[in-house]
Amino acid sequence: MESILDNRPLLQREIEQVAEVAGHLWQKGWAERNGGNIVINITDHIDTAIMRMHAISKPIEIGTTLAHLKGCYFYCKGTNRRMRDLARKPMENGSVIRITEDCAHYEIVADSVVKPTSELPSHLSVHDYLTAKGSPYKASLHTHPIELVAMTHHRPFLEKDVLTHLLWSMIPETKAFCPRGLGIVPYLLPSSLALAQETIDTIEEDYDVVMWEKHGVFAVDADLMSAFDQVDVLNKAAQIYMSARNMGFEPEGMADEQMQEMTQAFHLPK
């Protein structure tokens, strides 16, 4: 069966990266059942032949109007599809969609009529914001990292930048590779546009990774692997903190002076 990926090596490489990340999420235990979502903007890899493709679905309402995404193309994980299956067969467990001229609907272009994730409006709303500001970020990732989610059940950790400074202090690499820290969004109904707007507002404060209280993490970056890496580094810091607590002590953490030294040495955002 012909695939949209055939003879398109750059597009194929993007989808192969999606499959690789999906496998990592499953192996880490961050993607139970159909948990988690991936949406990447693949418009840069779309050629004239794809633009001329007829849709294989009727237009589907997004639920909001996204003025900056007209004609854009996205690869999306399918609703009720498992990451472990997406890792093996990404085009059978996800689909390529095109945003229609009215910016309020999408249509499935390839390869199969796999309806995208129920959180698509949230993801697309963030992509609309990123596109509007000229951001190079093309990938959005939602997943359920165990230790980070657990930490959101402790109210003091939900105060602004409390978790950021705690996680930065656990190991130097956290601040080096996640220099913008971790934004916090209080609990809101999953898949809701209210959650999308709060996520956008938090990203606008200059965060790349946003913690959804008692739910999971939402991360954006230039590509999917980079978004995954940020979550992975932050969760490693959470694991170090919990390991110390399990050994019976409160970890000392890096001093503010040591973290400031890191900021200056690696030219990181303050």
CA distance 259 to 252: 13
- DSSP assignments along 11-53, one per residue: HHHHHHHHHHHHHHHHHTT---TT--EEEEE-GGG--HHHHTP
- Give yes or no: 119 in active site: yes
> Would you say 176 and 241 are in contact if contact means Cβ atoms under 8 Å apart?
no
Alpha carbons 219 and 72: distance in angstroms, whole number: 20
Q: Which of 107, 119, 198, 204 is catalytic?
A: 119
Active site residue ranges: 119
